Every structure is written in C-alpha cells, then in structure tokens.
C-alpha cells in the first residue's frame, strides 16, 4: 500500500472510506443504519468513478472532471427493474461524498473541494396536514368506552400535541413521561435529546388510559390483541409498533370521513403548521421537531404563506 511519508496516511480512497465511516459512527454519533447507507453510497461512488482506472483511486484523483463523470453515470444507472435513481436519491449519494471530502480536508489530505459537490435540485415535498377542526373530527370518532379507545385517543392526542415521530412514540415507557409537569425528553435521530411538551388534554388522556391498565409492562402503549404471544423476556412483546399505530390512524381517518391520506407523520406536520399559523417562529419549531437543519423545517413555510394575504389586506388597503 502507498503511504504519505509525512502523514503516514493511506492514499487509497477505499481505505479512507473505512476510516470515514468510523468517524461518522463514533465522532458524529450517527446511527448504524446511517453508517450502512453511507457505506453503500461511497462504495457505489468508488465503483462508478473507477471504471476508467486500472488502479485504486486516490484522493488526489477526485477532480471536477471525475465528479462530472460520476454524476453522469449516477444519473444513468439502473436497478434490476430498469428504473433510474430519483434526484432525491442521487442527492443522498452526493451528500455522502461531500461529507467524505470534508473529512479528507479536515485531515489535511488533498482532494476535491467539498463545495464543488452541488446537490441536484429537487421539488419541494408536498406536506399533508390536518386543520384543527379535522383533528377534532378524528378524535371525536373514537369510542372512549373501551380500553382500546382510551389508548387510541391518548396516542392521537399525544402525537398532535407533541410533534413526536412515530418511532419515538413507540419507544416511550411509562417512566419516561412526566404527566404532571407535561414535559419529558426523547432521544431522536442522531441520538440527540430534545425536550417534549404536551398540553393538558393530552396528559389527561394518557392518564385515563393508564388508569385502566392492569399490567406491570414498561411500554407506554400496548397491543391489546389476544393473538399477541410472548416471545420476549424484556417486557416489550406487547409494545405497539409504528405499523400498528399507522393502522390505528387509518381506522379513525375512515370513521371521521377524512379523505386525506393521514399517517402518524401527518400529525407531526399538523403540529408544526399549527404552531406556525399561531405565530411561532421557525427556529422554535425547528427545535421542537428536532430538525438538525432549519432547511428541513422550511418545508412548512409555504403552508403559512396564506397569512400573507391577510397581512396585505390589513396593512395595504386600496387607495381611492
């Protein structure tokens, strides 16, 4: 293997990718799933960018021209069904490459400037959310005379009140949530902790549900199916899954006569848009949602642009 005699660093990209993945996991604290995705993206970069080479790629050989060829091949590559990668998926590949190049620059290894890796333009995602009256219809469709109904009402109110991701909700234990102070902490994406606040109604509904529970299981929300068998010794065999909560929300969406496609994430969108429409600033909403980049939160701004018409009518009346 070739080494830099001054830095004793391996000069092959294939070796440095392994070092970078360790950096992503340990120093950046990313999840193992993220690390595996980055490994896939960077190995594909190595594969596509080395087609014209008869030797292992070195960092110095990552040039603007090599990047151009890589992007062209990435755009043309097909999967086993003959489908091309979407611009959004291509963006994930390029984000991984840009992060790798930043890592090389940090270690003083000469390569392509990361700023030259431009991401493809993508269409702003369509955000589906429920207006407050639709949320009320959803809640009113739940029968509160059963334990299952009390559980489902607590789930939906908690999602709308807190902005929790469905995975975060499923991972909650009874001991995690302070219903008197109506606040607690969850560990979200990237193993980052953030505060969660809930309103009095949501806290009351969770209390109602817990009051009819007669078990000692730790999970906040349980599957009530009689077909659930115990295959676990850690008390999690009855914990609700994201797919179970998806089915619960689909059920009440139909009962409420709501024609929109409503998911647990729709309630998170509804939480964010409700805050913004009532005057919350974007930075605060970013913190409450646990977004690491405010550009992610900005997908909601076009929804609240409807207020601009009201502002225009109030402050710029027609002259006569």
Task: Say what the pLDDT of residue 316 is.
Answer: 66
Find the catalytic residue in 165, 182, 239, 269: 165
102 is catalytic: no
Q: Would you kindly state where each structural domain of the chain is located, as residue ranges?
A: 13-116, 132-226+236-310
Dihedral pair phi/psi, residue 238, rounded to 5°? -110, 5
Find the catalytic residue in 30, 153, 268, 269: 268
* Topology, domain 13-116: DNA polymerase; domain 1 (1.10.150)
Find the catalytic residue in 73, 102, 137, 265: 265
- Exposed/middle/buried for residue 6 (C-beta within 10 Å: 0-12, 13-18, 19+): exposed
Overall residue count recorded for the chain in this entry: 320
Task: Say what the pLDDT of residue 124 is.
Answer: 59
189 is catalytic: yes
Find the catalytic residue in 41, 70, 103, 300: 300
> Per residue of the chain (320 residues), what is the pLDDT tens digit?
444 544 455 578 999 999 999 999 998 888 888 899 999 999 999 999 888 787 889 999 999 999 999 999 999 988 777 888 888 889 999 999 999 999 999 999 999 999 999 887 766 567 789 988 999 999 999 999 999 999 999 999 999 999 999 999 999 999 999 999 999 999 877 778 899 999 999 999 999 999 999 999 999 999 987 665 555 556 678 999 999 999 999 999 999 999 999 999 999 999 999 998 888 888 999 999 988 888 788 888 766 666 566 666 767 655 54
Find the catalytic residue in 23, 73, 98, 189: 189
Return d(Cα 274, Cα 196) in angstroms, integer: 16
Report whether 25 contacts 36 (CB < 8 A). no
55 is catalytic: no
The set of long-range contacts for 269-272, using a CB threshold of 8 Å and a minimum separation of 24, is 269/127, 269/128, 269/129, 269/300, 270/129, 270/130, 270/131, 270/135, 270/160, 271/159, 271/160, 271/161, 271/162, 271/163, 272/129, 272/163, 272/297, 272/300
For residue 195, what is the DSSP state?
A: E
* CATH class for the region spanning 132-226+236-310: mainly alpha
302 is catalytic: no
283 is catalytic: no
20 is catalytic: no
């Amino acid at each position: 293997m070739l080494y830099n005699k001054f830095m004793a660093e391996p000069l092959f990209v294939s070796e440095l990718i392994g070092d970078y993945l360790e950096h992503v996991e340990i120093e950046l604290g990313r999840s193992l799933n993220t690390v595996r995705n980055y490994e896939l993206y960077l190995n594909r970069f190595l594969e596509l960018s080395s087609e014209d080479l008869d030797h292992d790629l070195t960092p110095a050989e990552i040039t603007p021209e090599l990047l151009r060829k890589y992007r062209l091949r990435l755009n043309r590559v097909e999967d086993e069904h003959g489908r091309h990668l979407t611009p959004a998926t291509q963006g994930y590949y390029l984000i991984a490459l840009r992060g790798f190049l930043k890592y090389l620059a940090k270690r003083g290894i000469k390569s392509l400037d990361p700023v030259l890796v431009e991401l493809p333009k993508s269409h702003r995602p369509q955000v589906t959310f429920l207006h407050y009256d639709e949320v009320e219809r959803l809640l009113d469709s739940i029968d509160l005379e059963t334990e299952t109904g009390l559980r489902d009402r607590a789930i939906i109110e908690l999602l709308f009140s807190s902005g929790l991701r469905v995975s975060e909700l499923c991972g909650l234990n009874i001991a995690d949530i302070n219903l008197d102070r109506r606040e607690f902490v969850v560990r979200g994406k990237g193993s980052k902790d953030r505060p969660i606040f809930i309103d009095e109604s949501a806290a009351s509904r969770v209390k109602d549900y817990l009051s009819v529970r007669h078990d000692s299981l730790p999970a906040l929300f349980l599957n009530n199916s009689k077909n659930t068998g115990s295959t676990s010794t850690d008390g999690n065999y009855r914990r609700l899954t994201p797919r179970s909560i998806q089915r619960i929300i689909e059920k009440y969406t139909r009962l409420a006569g709501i024609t929109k496609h409503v998911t647990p994430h729709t309630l998170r969108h509804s939480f964010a848009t409700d805050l913004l429409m009532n005057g919350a600033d974007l930075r605060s909403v970013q913190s409450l949602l646990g977004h690491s980049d405010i550009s992610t939160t900005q997908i909601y701004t076009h929804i609240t642009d409807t207020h601009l018409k009201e502002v225009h009518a109030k402050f710029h009346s027609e002259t006569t």
